[in-house]
């Protein structure tokens, strides 16, 4: 299959982007400044990210739509207010995570932002619970642009008045150049910021405005270092169909009412795990010194017993040290526990750390 491109592909190319194949798309991994500068400028000023490869899935229907979606999504969709968003996931019958997502209540139903690599399968899985009264479509005519960083609000407010009134994980419709934009105050960097859903034919105009305001493009490379410092999971690495939300330390994302009432995929399993605890758990890991513990690095106890595996690891430019996360035997999951990491055949010290590594600055 031919690689897909986002509407901004040529724009990225002209900016000198290096491309990488990601989830069937040719995506910019970095631009001329490189990952560290892109990362730092996002945290100190602002950066924009083309995340149009992600699925923008719209659902419409009557009141039975909520019941249908709650079978596969453990969020409290019944009490989700208009224009409010929740982080949640699609679950399989074993409670494994099919995908992680952000779901927003719209006037006609819901909008779900899905991971690019999973979106086709996600639609299949969701469809199983829908009936003829429900409409659904993946909208490929829309781009998705994230504007992230402490200056994001000031800059976007100049172009789209009113966005500064949004609180974290809420959104609304706005007008821009005679088109409707749906903007949410959200993102995946740990910074304040916005995700802007915009027609493909208007996206270059939006980006030109960002460039005039000295906001630089940020590639997937820095998106990864930013989200890892913020302690956020990357699907396909930190989460997959064999991992459930309890192991992933994401119990908070299962709504209280849903934890009490159940009635969603994998509930039997998840209920038991909530009561008895899981054997392994996702934790932050701080390696000692400068050694980088990348994905699939084995974790050992101080006495040499193999106790886990790193699922994401890199150098954190804002932490100015290597950071990682992974799954560890729950016995060793306590913050501060000393561990060993096997890198290139040698063992290096490290410890279990709190997440996030870098304090989030959401506007709540």
Partner 1 sequence: MSEKKFSKKHEWVSLDGDTATVGITKHATEMLGDIVFVEVPESGKSVEKDGQAAVVESTKAASDVYSPISGEILEGNKSIVDDPGNVNSDPEGASWFFKLKVKDKSEFDTLMNKSDYDKFCAENPS
Q: Which residues of this chain interact with partner 1, rule CB under 8 A?
A: 29-30, 34-37, 221, 225, 290-292, 294, 314-315, 317, 322, 344
Find out whether 232 and 86 touch, Cβ atoms under 8 Å: no
Q: Which is nearer to partner 1, 284 or 317 (CB)?
A: 317
Closest approach of partner 1 to the CB of residue 226, in Å: 11
Shortest gap between Cβ of 316 and partner 1 (angstroms)? Answer: 9
DSSP string, 281-344: EEEEEEESTT----TT-EEEETTS-EEEEEEEEEEETTTTEEEEEEEEEGGG-STT-EEEEEET
Q: What are phi and psi of 209, to 5 degrees?
A: -65, -40
Measure Cα distances from 337 to 64, 117, 218 in Å. 48, 35, 35
Q: What is the DSSP letter of 232?
A: -
Q: Quickly count: other Cβ atoms within 10 Å of residue 174's Cβ.
A: 19
- When the beta carbons of 40 and 253 are compared against partner 1, the nearer one is 40
Residue 280 Cβ vs partner 1, minimum distance, rounded to whole Å: 26
Q: How far is the CB of 347 from partner 1 (least distance, A)?
A: 14
Nearer to partner 1, 39 or 185 (CB): 39
CA distances from 353 to 120, 226, 240, 247, 313 (A): 35, 17, 22, 16, 13
| C-alpha span between 88 and 102 (Å, rounded) | 6
Q: Which of 74, 317 has the CB closer to partner 1?
A: 317
- Closest approach, Cβ 346 to partner 1, in A, equals 9
Q: Which of residues 123 and 291 has its CB atom nearest to partner 1 in the complex?
A: 291
């Amino acid at each position: 299959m031919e690689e897909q491109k986002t509407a901004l592909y040529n724009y990225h190319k002209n900016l000198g982007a290096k491309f990488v194949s990601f989830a069937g798309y040719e995506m910019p991994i970095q631009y001329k400044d490189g990952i560290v500068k892109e990362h730092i400028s996002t945290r100190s000023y602002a950066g924009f990210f083309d995340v149009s490869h992600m699925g923008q899935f719209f659902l419409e229907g009557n009141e039975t739509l909520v019941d249908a979606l709650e079978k596969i999504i453990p969020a409290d969709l019944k009490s989700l207010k208009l224009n409010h968003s929740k982080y949640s996931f699609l679950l399989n019958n074993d409670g494994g995570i099919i995908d992680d997502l952000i779901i927003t209540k719209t006037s006609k139903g819901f909008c779900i932002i899905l991971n690019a690599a999973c979106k086709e399968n996600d639609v299949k899985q969701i469809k199983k619970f829908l009936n003829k009264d429900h409409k659904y479509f993946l909208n490929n005519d829309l781009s998705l642009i994230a504007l992230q960083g402490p200056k994001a609000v000031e800059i976007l407010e100049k172009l789209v008045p009113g966005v500064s009134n949004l609180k974290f994980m809420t959104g609304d419709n706005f007008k821009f150049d005679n088109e409707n934009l749906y903007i949410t105050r959200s993102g995946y960097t740990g910074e304040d910021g916005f995700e802007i859903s915009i027609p493909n034919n208007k996206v270059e105009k939006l980006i030109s405005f960002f460039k005039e305001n000295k906001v630089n493009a940020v590639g997937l490379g820095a998106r990864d270092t930013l989200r890892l410092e913020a302690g956020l999971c990357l699907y396909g690495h930190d989460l997959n169909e064999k991992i459930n939300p309890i192991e992933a330390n994401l119990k908070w994302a299962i709504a209280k009412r849903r934890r009490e009432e159940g009635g969603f995929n994998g509930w039997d399993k998840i209920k038991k795990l909530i009561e008895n605890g899981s054997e392994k758990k996702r934790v932050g890991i701080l390696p000692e010194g400068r050694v980088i513990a990348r994905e699939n690095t084995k974790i050992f106890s101080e006495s040499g017993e193999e106790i886990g595996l790193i699922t994401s690891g890199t150098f954190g430019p804002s932490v100015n040290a290597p950071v990682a996360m992974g799954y560890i035997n729950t016995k060793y999951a306590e913050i501060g526990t000393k561990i060993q990491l096997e890198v290139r055949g040698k063992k290096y010290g490290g410890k279990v750390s709190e997440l996030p590594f870098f304090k989030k600055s959401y506007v709540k």
